[in-house]
Chain A
Amino acid sequence: MFDMNNGHGITTLRGFVAEFKDEETIIDATKKTVDAGYHNIETYTPYPLEELLDVQHLHRNNVALVILIGGLIGCAVGFFMQYFASVIHYPINVGGRPFNSWPAFIPVMFECTVLFAAISAMVGMIIMNRLPRPHHPIFELDRFRLATQDRFFLCIEVEDPSFDTEKTWKFLEDLNPHEVNKVES
């Protein structure tokens, strides 16, 4: 999508970003932006806003699926690790007890399930969010540092088919923002 800053003082326009002071204004603004037909938009907030996820249709994602798969793999690994050791590799007959005494394997299987699922949750979330990404063009905007504190940002990216330097700027200015800025890198 974006290529990194070429470092020679040549800047490319990445998009326009509007800054809002409170959550109601940005929710309202995002609704209007989506209704106006913009697709390549992103909002940046200091904490998750349920309404924005609704407006941007962000509720469907694959995190749960990844965790489920991770957990199932963990469960299988937990079982076969014990099965391999007790039945295949070094079976010991202790008082005629079955080699594959699966009820005694359950605690370790459970722990492996949780371990693998938790690791997939973390790794899955990071990878699907395309993180770690220490630098992003939007960080070039100095005021963007408030996005993790107390301000809310709405960005319309140049990739958007309806992006137009004049109209989009005007559109954002009409959304009652604190200010509108260019994102360049």
Chain B
Amino acid sequence: MPFKRDWSLSQKATDIEQVEPYKGDSVVAPEYNNSTITQKIANIVLRAETPLWWYLALAFLLPVVGLLGISVTYLVLIGTGVWGLNVPVGWGFAIINFVWWIGIGHAGTLISAILHLMRQDWRNSINRFAEAMTIFAVMCAGMFPLLHVGRPWLAYWLLPLPNTMALWPQWRSPLVWDVFAVSTYFTVSLIFWYMGMIPDLGTLRDRAKHPVVARIFGVLSLGWRGASSHWARYEKAYLILAGLSTPLVLSVHSIVSFDFAVSLIPGWHTTVFPPYFVAGAIYAGFAMVLTLTIPVRKIFGLEGLITTRHLENMGKVTLATGFIVVYGYAMEMFISWYSASPYEGFMMWNRMTGQYALVYWALIFCNAVSIQILWWKRARRNPIILFIVSLIVGVGMWLERFVIVVTSLANDYMPSSWDYYAGSIWDWSLYVGTIGFFLFMMCLFIRFLPMIPMSEMKMIIPKHRKKDV
């Protein structure tokens, strides 16, 4: 018996009229109820015509992804020598970019897990987006250590696989902990993201007009039908996943910081690193969420779902984590003096006045000075100011990792071996390539998957507005 469908049910009501971008203080604009919220978000995915800007963005980003491909190919063909790495700077862009990308990913988990546990309902409209950001950022991050091993096709040696040489990983090394931390983090983020999406994939299945599209979403949604007995288990599993992700995200960046802190290099060997790295990660990540959501809410007219209140809250988190990072800088300075170690003292003095002084002061400007404007409520509520600040913070956090990694290595114990390092053209092309890859994946995501969780948004609509139209 063929399954006859009444297509009028798929898209019941007409598209809601958006007269003017919502400027109010609520987390959901008043025009949204259960029906309109479903339409608004599902139609972004299911509407027939794709907006022109999307093709333009892809056309711009595809060559950048190609640049990534070229950089990787050249690297693999010639070897890691194409990077500007040489003694004494043996760790350069690969670890800088790895830490930077992982850090950006952390805001996604913070928003989806920690803010969920704290019952911050404003996170409901940005969590899906931020989680997607996490997944793609961790993909970019993972590329760097895998490529840096020189022969990426042997990267599986990082895992504890039985082999005839009886070789095992060095279990006492933070680098091996990193393998476990990052791969677990990626897997758990993916699970969390997908699980959160199951009910929405069901909604898309039920609204899709094309049978093939409906079937694809039907498979992806696992046949979700919204039964209360299912919701009960789903909610419990989701809550516990949030509880698991919270310590996980803290552990991942702590372990990343151990890569440095466990060594004996001046400027790396400090106990403040784990909390300072975690705060820096969330700081950079929130900046990235702002960088991405501000244009997206404008393009799709989502001001009623990602409201000024969201921007303001994200601005506050950026300011707060920024101050933890500034505290980290202050502690670095203080300890380099207080430790009375000439090497520590030199390291700090060299950072501020040496060959990388410009980078150091640029980082202080980006991360400590620029965010001061967020003390003003009007700045926090102004998308343009927030967007600019978020870009500056993104750059600043990259500079921070550059300063940490490079200044300590380029001017180490032996003045005779000092060097200057700023990355080769292939370092830069690979870095730019990952940014292109990241934005490319985000473009695909906002086109093909629901970027705002519909079911979770319906939970936070005020009760009186839930009456059906």
**Contact A81–B160 (Cβ < 8 Å):** yes
- Which of B177, B206, B222 interacts with A126 by CB under 8 Å? B222
**Contact A121–B241 (Cβ < 8 Å):** yes
Supplied contacts A59-B232, A86-B168, A118-B188, 7 more A-B pairs, CB within 8 Å = A42-B227, A67-B240, A107-B181, A107-B255, A142-B9, A145-B206, A149-B34
Q: Indicate with 1 or 0, residue by residue over A41-68, a CB within 8 angstroms of chain B CB atoms.
A: 0111111110011001011010110010
Instruction: Report if B119 contacts A (CB, 8 A).
Output: no
**Contact B187–A108 (Cβ < 8 Å):** no
- Which of B180, B191, B228 interacts with A44 by CB under 8 Å? B228
A149 → B minimal CB distance (Å): 5
- Which of A49, A114, A148 interacts with B248 by CB under 8 Å? A114
* Residues of the A chain whose Cβ atoms lie less than 8 Å from the Cβ of B38: 46, 149-150
* Residues of the A chain whose Cβ atoms lie less than 8 Å from the Cβ of B172: 101, 104
Interface members, chain B 182-212 (any A CB < 8 Å) = 184, 187-188, 191-192, 194-195, 199, 202-203, 205-207
C-alpha spacing A181/B33, complex, angstroms: 25
Tell me what chain A mostly uses at the interface: helix, strand, loop, or mixed. Answer: helix
- Which stretch, B60-68, B84-92, B432-440, B454-462, touches the partner chain A? B454-462
- Given A118-B241, A122-B237, A145-B206, A22 and B222 contact (CB-CB distance below 8 Å): no
C-alpha spacing A124/B236, complex, angstroms: 11
C-alpha spacing A81/B161, complex, angstroms: 10
* Complex: chain A residue closest to B181, CB-CB: A111
**Contact A7–B35 (Cβ < 8 Å):** no
- Which of A22, A64, A139 interacts with B225 by CB under 8 Å? A139
**Contact A149–B206 (Cβ < 8 Å):** yes
**Contact B10–A145 (Cβ < 8 Å):** yes
Q: Which 7 A-B pairs have the closest CB atoms?
A: A132-B222, A145-B206, A150-B34, A48-B231, A85-B168, A21-B468, A125-B237
* Residues of the A chain whose Cβ atoms lie less than 8 Å from the Cβ of B219: 132, 134
Instruction: Report if B264 contacts A (CB, 8 A).
Output: no
**Contact A89–B166 (Cβ < 8 Å):** yes
**Contact B177–A108 (Cβ < 8 Å):** yes
Instruction: Report if A2 contacts B (CB, 8 A).
Output: no
Binding site for A on B (CB under 8 A): 1, 3-6, 9-10, 12, 33-35, 38, 160, 166-169, 171-172, 174, 176-177, 180-181, 184, 187-188, 191-192, 194-195, 199, 202-203, 205-207, 218-219, 222-237, 240-241, 244-245, 247-248, 251, 255, 258, 454-456, 458-459, 463, 466-468
* Residues of the A chain whose Cβ atoms lie less than 8 Å from the Cβ of B167: 90
* Complex: chain A residue closest to B468, CB-CB: A21
**Contact B177–A23 (Cβ < 8 Å):** no
- Given A63-B233, A67-B237, A148 and B181 contact (CB-CB distance below 8 Å): no
- Give the size range of A's interface with the partner: 35 or more
**Contact A148–B203 (Cβ < 8 Å):** yes
- Which of B171, B195, B227, B245 interacts with A108 by CB under 8 Å? B171
Q: Indicate with 1 or 0, residue by residue over A114-131, a CB within 8 angstroms of chain B CB atoms.
A: 110111011011101101
Instruction: Report if A73 contacts B (CB, 8 A).
Output: no
- The residue in A22, A122, A133, A148 that gathers the most chain B C-beta atoms within 10 A of its C-beta is A148
* Residues of the B chain whose Cβ atoms lie less than 8 Å from the Cβ of A115: 184, 187-188
* Residues of the A chain whose Cβ atoms lie less than 8 Å from the Cβ of B455: 46-48
Instruction: Report if A37 contacts B (CB, 8 A).
Output: no
* Residues of the A chain whose Cβ atoms lie less than 8 Å from the Cβ of B245: 114, 118
**Contact B237–A45 (Cβ < 8 Å):** no
* Residues of the B chain whose Cβ atoms lie less than 8 Å from the Cβ of A142: 4-6, 9
* Residues of the A chain whose Cβ atoms lie less than 8 Å from the Cβ of B1: 5, 7, 9
* Complex: chain A residue closest to B453, CB-CB: A47
